[in-house]
Structure 1
Amino acid sequence: MKKLINNSIYLLGLLLVLVSCDDKELVTLNADANTVLSVSNQTLVLTEELADTEVLTLSWTDPDYGFDAAANYKIQIDFTGGDFSAPQSISAGSDLSKVLLGQELNAKLLSLGIVPNTATDIDFRIQTTLSPNTVMYSDAKTINITAYSSLLDLSTNLGVVGSGTPGGWDAGSDRPILDIPFYTTSTTNQYVAYATLRTGEIKFRKDNLWTENFGDDGNDGTLEANGANIAVTAGSYKITVMTDDSATPLSYTMEPFSWGLVGDGTPNGWNGPDTPLTYNSYQDNFKAAVTLTDGEMKFRFNNDWGVNFGDDGLDGTLEGGGANIPVSAGHYIVTLDLNTQTYELEATDVWGLVGDAAPNGWDGPNLKFLPDFGINEGFYYINGVTLTNGEIKVRQNDAWGLNYGDDGNDGIMEQNGANIPVTAGTYNIVFDFSGASPMISLNEWQ
């Protein structure tokens, strides 16, 4: 009897399995399914005046995949004739169209490497992702586009070299740290460099080479070709060089120079040290990536109240000695424009350095990376950070939800990867998030 009951239960279970299998609908991808892309323009000339204007609409079909698919779409952009191996991308989610503003499209084209003010054939296609193993691409559509340069080019071929600089005396000679650059200014024949130096010596030279170099034989501010090394003490400086009409350096001055954020809404409070702002030559302003708390802040010069700016009208315009600026907790790119006496706080995600080798340990707050504000989209930098023997990782927004380590200790990073061992020293760190796999390089000061 027991055996009969067991056999009956087995047959009933088998029947239920067969019925269950019959109820499942087997799905097969339609081999002919693919999106068809349409574009609103065949030719585009982008200008700064069109920065906030809708300049291009891309739309695509939703084909019959043979089943109810949850497709995710991405626009890919490459030069005509390219193979989309390193495209610029714009996420569209589940939408079937995307409208691009002039500045958004222009930024993607500059990141792609387009030459501004030159008509160039650009291909667009749609990447459709149905699952990690099912990715399809539409046929490409070509648009002839002229982009514009929204960036200043203040570069010169003059730089600062020496034992007082991050790259040492051999900067640029098979080393990743180059001479500290000089930039042009609105004053004819005047160059300026913003330099964080250590105690040592410096000289000025052209093209990261010793062919043309300049020192100061009399220590009197006058420069001579192949002149004597210039002694410096550790600090942040503005170095100004005057040249003749052929760009030959004639004289120089050095002055302590730093702008920073101070206040109970900033990481170090009202007593500092101030959160430093870094010179951005592409817009001729100063920027910082920072995490703020609810409170107030001001801008001040050289960590001192002698020169400080606030905002009396809370209108984005700065006044000397003006009112404290109220801020809300969050992650920001802060911009200080001394040319227009204005400032801006842009809420954004920020990347930071964390670890027992980092200044604030594993609990943070993280030391923030500053994005590249030029054409190297996806690159982030920390310069002059002092690390101890230990380990580091990179994470977003002072939280562990999104973090990267390096499983192979090969510079290629993995999400939730292994801690990265470091030895004590001062470093310039580059976090490259522009490619398929994030990468990190730690370049020690020489």
Structure 2
Amino acid sequence: MKNITKTIFALLAVLTIACNTDDVQDRPIIEGVDAPQITAPESGAIYVLSPGNESLQADRFVWTKANYNGDVVINYTLEIDNSGGDFSAPQTLGGTVGDLQLSVDEGTLNLACLNLGATPFVANNFDVRIVSDANGFSPMASNVISITVTPSGCLGQYAVGAGIPSAGWGWNSPLTLNCNNNVLTAKTDLINDAFRFFTTEGDWNSGRNFPYYQGLGYIFSSVLIDAGDGDNNFTFTGTPGSYRLKIDENKKTITVARSTVSSGFEPTSTWLVGAATPGGWSWSDDSETELPLISDNIYEVPVTLTSGESFRVFLGNDGGDSWGLGDRNYPWYINEGYTISAELENALDGDSNFRYTGPTGMRILKIDATAKTITLI
């Protein structure tokens, strides 16, 4: 009887193993077969992004379903990289679980392009692809389409170097320049030494030196020069002290403005108002042009001047119409013994304003209260 029982158990074990082996052999093999393909937009699409439109749809990206030869949950990720890039460090525009389309708003596209190093307000070329992923299987990448994006705005930047004592040449306490309406600003102490701007904190390879901005057509305060060192950093040559450092990506200027003086109070910049300046004869909507102190007794600003038109120097700005806060016209400077550029003359209007007679364009207006000169560069 015992032998019969053992025989029955052995037969059952054999049958069980045989059934399990057959089940495994009959089970379908799931594997990646066909990668997804982007069907919209078409390659060559162009996007011009605008401030204030961050929530608006830039485009809807559509693709075909990935084929994994089985019933699996598929995740899709929309990636963007610089034109010709290898997608080793792409930006992500979003993703879906199973859905075959994704709406991308302007803010998301704009930020991704800027993070890839795009120059604001300039057309930049990018590659876009969709990547499918199913748990336990290798990702599959789609075809690549090319798009052109003109981004707006800017990301915050950083500055380090011996010329900025609080930062030095390290990343323990970099100077942060915050961005607002495409203008980066920071208040810092400056001394006569070198520094450089960076787009990514802690990344030495993200540096932007003097020739970088020069190549983009930027104009600099005269106290900011090429250090002429191995990295062509910036060097500050003005009076050491506390300054506002500004990168204006709209006007393409990099300037400084003195923010403290020895007596301990915040000085008031002078201001240019008039038809020769971009804001015309108006104080509304920040139309006036700031003429800041860039070093002891030196006021300077890059400004677009219109030929044949006039302007006047004002001593104060209370945030509203500041006509009564004091001003200086052409005769005032002549009476004080100033030598004035031949491209500036007495307008001979009711207020004896300055008239600009040079060619219309960006100029650097400089008033040196020590040398008693008014020059145009």
TM-score scaled by structure 2?
Answer: 0.47
Specify the structure having the higher radius of gyration (Cα).
2
